[in-house]
Amino acid sequence: MIKSLLVILALLSNNVFADKDTVIQNLSPFFGVIDKQDITLSSFKGVYEVITRDPIDSMLVSKDGKYLIEGDVVDLTTRTLIPKNNQVRNLKMALINTIQDADKIIYPAKNEQYQIHVFTDVDCPFCKRLHNNMDAMNKLGITVKYLAAPLASLHPKAFGKMQKIWCAADRNEAMNDYKTNNVIPDSEPCNNPVANQLSISQQLGVNGTPAIFLEGGTHLPGYLPADKLLARIQAILGK
């Protein structure tokens, strides 16, 4: 929301540059603590790329610290997007990897070729559509690891339902029962990871579900059928 208030596409003067301290001073009121090591030169002349940590993201900022550039920047000579720092994806994957497999709901592929992490909300219609493709994804060699991201603004009861599912004796069966038949398990309260995983999803900038993260940290927002998901994975990670 803050970014949308600051959108300016500008031709930047080469002789009006500021140091990183000025960039930090101008951005910090809107984006929190920023470290100098997270400010690097981009391939766009006269522009820094700045990495933020909560949520993990990056932005392009003029070197004089006055202008924030929102949206894609296209190199007209190559007709391609100016690439962003791989560090953002690495940071996102590192954060996801802090979650132990024991706290995930995993649907393994017998002939695993790829793993994906999916932040899901059990009351999200597109999450249910994705779940209906589980057998197809597994047959294509895609192991699916579910993480919890109940969106209270859309589905206020999802948080409690997901705690019930994560506390079930058989989480996979409980997830299947609810995703397919809306059956909530009668499980006792337990020390569950739902709140922690929701917090991590927010740090990752997840604002919609399903939110799919590939092994390299690339975020694919929204639902994709199994065959198209595999094609996207292969295009990004290679066959």
Domain ranges of the chain: 2-85, 95-237
Structure tokens at 232: 């996207």
How far is residue 150's CA from residue 120's CA, in Å, rounded to a whole number? 7
Q: In which residue are the tokens 């996102």 written?
A: 92
Q: In the chain, pLDDT over 90 holds for what percent of residues? A: 72
Q: Identify the pLDDT of residue 18.
A: 59
Q: Are strands 80-81 and 114-120 parallel, antiparallel or unpaired?
A: unpaired
Angle between helices 87-96 and 194-203 (to 10 degrees): 180
What is d(CA 156, CA 124) in angstroms, rounded to the nearest whole number?
11
Using alpha carbons only, how large is the chain's radius of gyration in Å? Answer: 20
CATH code linked to domain 2-85:
3.10.450.70
H-type helices in the chain, by residue range?
A: 2-5, 20-31, 87-96, 125-131, 134-139, 158-166, 171-181, 194-203, 226-237
Percent of the chain past pLDDT 70, that is, above it, reads 92
Tokens of 108: 């393994």
For the chain, what is the total number of helices (H) and then of strands (E)? 9, 11
The CATH code belonging to domain 95-237 is 3.40.30.10
Q: What is the pTM of this model?
A: 0.84
pLDDT digits (tens, 9 = 90+) for 141-192: 999 999 999 999 899 999 999 999 999 999 999 999 999 999 999 999 999 9
